[in-house]
Amino acid sequence: MSHPRAPELDNQYRSDRVLQTWLHQHLPVDMRQAIEADLDALGAHAAQAWHEARSRTPQKPVLTQWDAWGERIDRIESTPVWQNGAVMAARYGLVAAGHELQFGEFARCDQFLRVYLHHIASEFHTCPLAMTDGAATALKASGNHELIERALPRLTAREADRLWLSGQWMTERIGGSDVGNSETEARRDEQGQWRLYGRKWFTSAVIGEMALTLARPQGAAEGADALAMFQLETRDAEGRWNGIRIDRLKDKLGTHELPTAEIHLDGALATPVGGLDHGVRLIAPMLNVTRTWNAVCALATMRRCIVLATAYARQREAFGRPLIEHPLHVATLADMQAEFEVAFQLVMQVAHLLGRSERGLASQRDAALLRLLTPLAKLWTGKLAVRIASETCEAFGGAGYIENTGIPQLLRDAQVYPIWEGTTNVLSLDALRAISSVGFEPLLEAAAALLDEADASDAAARMEWPLREIRAALVTIREWLPRQAANKEAMQAGARG
Ligand code: MFK
Ligand code: FAD
C-alpha cells in the first residue's frame, strides 16, 4: 500500500487522444504538420505551468489607487503569469491565428486548439484574449475602415510589444443580461467629440489598451436599439487614463488572477463604431466569438479534471487495489470522459463552422447551424464543466477539498463559465432568437444533413448524440410554438368576451 501523491501531468498535447484523433480526422496533413510544433510546445508548457503553480503561493492582482503624494494613479499589478501573458499570446498567435488566411476555413480550429491547450496555464489570461478576438471580429463586421485600420493590426499582432488587448464593457449595475437598460451616457464636448459618463460594473480587461462598450447618446430613446457601440482607448498619448477611474477589484469566488474591476467613466473620449444606435446588434459578433472561447475553455477545464482524476486513480489505493480497478470509480471517470468527448466534437464543429463562415464558405445551412449551435455549445459546456469539476473534487476524496492540491480552484474557476457571456437561461432564449430569425426548416435540414454524415463517417458519429437531441428539441419547439400562440389568442379572446 502506498500513500497518496500529487498526480503527475505529462505533455498535454501528446497525451490527448481525443485531440490527436480529431486532428487526424479533420485537418489537412500539411496543416497538421505546420502547427504540430506549436501544439507540442503548448502541451509541454501546460504541464510545466501546473507543476510550477503547485510550488508557489497563489497570487492575486493588486490595485493601487493613490501614490505616496496623493495623486490618483489606479495602477493594477498583475500576477507573474499574467505579466508574461502577451508574450505567450503573441508567440502562439492565440488571437492572430483565428484571423490569418493561410489555413482558410480551418483557421478557427487551429486557433481554438491552441487556446484549449493553453487556457489553464494562462490563469484566465484567455479572458481578455477572448474579448480582444471579439473586438477584432466586431470591428471587421462594422465596416468602420478608419477604426479597422488603426486597431485590427494591433489586436491581431504576433509581436508582444504591438499587441493590444481589448475589453468588452457591457454589464452595468442595472443589469448584465438585460443590457438594454444601460445608463452610461454619451455626450458631445465643445469640440464635437464623444465622451462617455457612467459606471461599468464588471470589466475584466481594464488592463487592456482599448474596449468596446455600449452607451446611450444624449437625448436618445430608452431601450437596447437606442444604445450605440463605442470604441475607446484606455489611455491618452501620455499614458494617462482616458477619463476612467478604477473603483475597486472584485473579490470573486474564482478566477482570482483575473483583475475584474468596477469602473467609472468620467468623460472618456470614445468613437462611435457604426452609427448612433443598434449597439447590441453591432456588438453581437463579439458576443458570439467570446461565447465560443468560453466553450473552448470549458473543454480545457473538463480535460484537465479528467486527466488529474485518472492519474490519481492509478496510484491511490483503497480496499487493496488502485481506484482504477474499482468498477464503480471507473464508471464515474468513464461517464466524465464520454461527456467530454461529445462536448469536444460539438465545440470543434462550431469552431469549424465559424471559420467557414468567416472565409465566405458557409452555405445558408452552415450559417443557420452556426447561429444556433453557438449559444447551445456555450450553455451546455458551461454547465458540464462545473459538473465535471465537482465530480473531480469527489474523485480525489478529501484531497479534492484541499486548496494546495489545485483541485478546488478548478471547481471555483469553472463556476464562471455558465455566468458570464450570457447565463444558461439567457442563452436558451438566444437559441430561440436564433430559431425565430433563421426558421425551423433550414435548421432541421442542417441537423438531418449532419446526421447523414454522422452515419457515414466514424469521425462525425461522435456528434450524433447531441445532434439527435438538438433535432428532437427543434421538433418539439416547432410543435409547441403554434400551440402557445393559439392558447394565447384563446385566452385573449376569453378575456375580451
Ligand atoms: C476564458 C473564457 C473566455 C470567455 C471570456 C468572457 C469574458 C466575460 C465578459 C462578459 O461577460 S462580457 C458581458 C457579456 N454580456 C452578455 O453576454 C449579455 C447577455 N445578454 C444577452 O445576450 C441578451 O440576450 C441581449 C443583451 C442580447 C438582449 O438584448 P435585447 O435588448 O433584448 O436584444 P434584442 O432586441 O433581442 O436584440 C438586439 C439585436 O441584436 C437584434 O438584431 P436586430 O436589431 O437586427 O433585430 C438581435 O437579433 C441581435 N442579437 C442579439 N444577440 C445576438 C444577436 N445577433 C447575433 N447573435 C447574437 N447572439
Ligand atoms: P442578472 O442579469 O441579474 O441575472 C440574474 C439571474 O436572472 C440569472 O440566473 C439569469 O439567468 C436570470 N435571468 C435574467 N434574465 C432572464 C430572462 N429573460 N429569463 C430567464 N432568466 C433570466 N461583464 C462585462 O460586460 N465585461 C466583463 O469583462 C465582465 N467580466 C466578468 C467577470 C466575472 C468573473 C463575472 C462573474 C462576470 C463578468 N461580467 C462581465 C458580467 C457578466 O457578463 C454578468 O454577470 C452576466 O451577464 C449576468 O448579468 P447579471 O450579473 O446582471 O445577472
User: Residues 292-338: pLDDT tens digits?
Assistant: 999 999 999 999 999 999 999 999 999 999 999 999 999 999 999 99
Q: Closest ligand to 201 CA? A: 2
pLDDT above 70 (res 458): no
- For a mutational test of ligand 2's pocket, the pick from 171, 248, 428, i.e. the residue with the most ligand atoms closer than 8 A to its C-beta, is 171
- For a mutational test of ligand 2's pocket, the pick from 419, 424, 427, 428, i.e. the residue with the most ligand atoms closer than 8 A to its C-beta, is 419
**What is the end-to-end Cα distance of the chain in Å, rounded?**
80
pLDDT above 60 (res 497): yes
pLDDT above 70 (res 81): yes
Instruction: Please give the number of the atom of ligand 2 that sits closest to the Cα of 175.
Output: 52
User: Residues 45-66: pLDDT tens digits?
Assistant: 999 999 999 989 989 999 999 9
Closest residue CA from atom 20 of ligand 1: 177
Residues in a beta bridge with 249: 261
- For a mutational test of ligand 2's pocket, the pick from 202, 213, 386, 432, i.e. the residue with the most ligand atoms closer than 8 A to its C-beta, is 202
Distance CA 413, CA 425 (A): 20
Distance CA 127, CA 183 (A): 25
Question: What is the distance in A from the centroid of ligand 1 to the CA of 390?
Answer: 29
ipTM: 0.99
Instruction: Please give the number of the atom of ligand 2 that sits closest to the Cα of 255.
Output: 34
User: Residues 224-241: pLDDT tens digits?
Assistant: 999 999 999 999 999 999
Grid look-up 497570487 returns 59
Which pLDDT does position 487 carry in this prediction?
73
pLDDT above 70 (res 457): no
Question: What is the distance in A from the centroid of ligand 1 to the CA of 396?
Answer: 38
Q: Which residues line ligand 1 (CB under 6 A)?
A: 124, 126-127, 130-131, 168, 170-171, 176-177, 179-180, 204, 224, 278, 280-281, 284, 287-288, 290, 293-294, 297, 420-422, 426, 430, 433, 437
Mean pLDDT, residues 444-464 = 69
Distance CA 353, CA 108 (A): 9
| Side chain identity, residue 129 | L
- Are 427 and 374 contacting, i.e. CB atoms less than 8 angstroms apart? no
3-class secondary-structure state, position 143: coil
Under the banding of pLDDT at 50, 70 and 90, the label for residue 455 is low
CA angle 306, 307, 313 (to 5 degrees): 85
Which pLDDT does position 419 carry in this prediction?
98
| Side chain identity, residue 462 | R
3-class secondary-structure state, position 337: helix
| Side chain identity, residue 258 | L
Q: Closest ligand to 202 CA? A: 2
Distance CA 144, CA 44 (A): 40
Under the banding of pLDDT at 50, 70 and 90, the label for residue 118 is very high
Mean pLDDT, residues 363-369 = 90
pLDDT above 90 (res 466): no
Q: If you compute the radius of gyration of the chain from its CA atoms, what whole number of angstroms results?
A: 24
Question: What is the distance in A from the centroid of ligand 1 to the CA of 328?
Answer: 42
Q: In the numeric block, which cell numbers belong to residue 467? A: 445532434
Residue 98's Cα: distance from chain center in Å? 14
Q: Are strands 210-217 and 185-188 parallel, antiparallel or unpaired?
A: parallel
pLDDT above 80 (res 215): yes
User: Residues 156-171: pLDDT tens digits?
Assistant: 999 999 999 999 999 9
Q: Are strands 62-66 and 72-77 parallel, antiparallel or unpaired?
A: antiparallel
Instruction: Quote the mean pLDDT of the chain.
Output: 93
pLDDT above 90 (res 267): yes
pLDDT above 80 (res 481): no
Closest residue CA from atom 5 of ligand 2: 177
Q: What share of the chain in percent tops pLDDT 70?
A: 96
Q: Are strands 321-322 and 166-169 parallel, antiparallel or unpaired?
A: unpaired
Mean pLDDT, residues 138-155 = 98
Which pLDDT does position 387 carry in this prediction?
98
| Side chain identity, residue 452 | D
Q: Closest ligand to 180 CA? A: 1
CA angle 139, 423, 93 (to 5 degrees): 40
pLDDT above 90 (res 153): yes
Distance CA 33, CA 30 (A): 5
Distance CA 194, CA 293 (A): 31
Distance CA 461, CA 399 (A): 37
Instruction: Please give the number of the atom of ligand 2 that sits closest to the Cα of 424.
Output: 11
Residues in a beta bridge with 217: 186
Q: Which residues contact 411 (CB under 8 A, 6 or more apart)?
A: 254, 386, 389, 390, 392, 393
Under the banding of pLDDT at 50, 70 and 90, the label for residue 495 is confident
pLDDT above 80 (res 278): yes
Closest residue CA from atom 20 of ligand 2: 425
Which pLDDT does position 462 carry in this prediction?
61
Which pLDDT does position 353 carry in this prediction?
95
Mean pLDDT, residues 124-148 = 98
Q: Which has more pLDDT, 201 or 444?
A: 201
Question: What is the distance in A from the centroid of ligand 1 to the CA of 136?
Answer: 17
User: Residues 422-442: pLDDT tens digits?
Assistant: 999 999 999 999 988 888 787
Question: What is the distance in A from the centroid of ligand 1 to the CA of 428?
Answer: 12
Under the banding of pLDDT at 50, 70 and 90, the label for residue 483 is confident
Q: Which residues contact 21 (CB under 8 A, 6 or more apart)?
A: 459
Q: In the numeric block, which cell numbers belong to residue 67? A: 501614490
Closest residue CA from atom 10 of ligand 2: 423
Q: Which residues line ligand 2 (CB under 6 A)?
A: 167-171, 175-177, 202-205, 252, 255, 260, 416, 419-420, 423, 425-426, 429
Under the banding of pLDDT at 50, 70 and 90, the label for residue 445 is confident
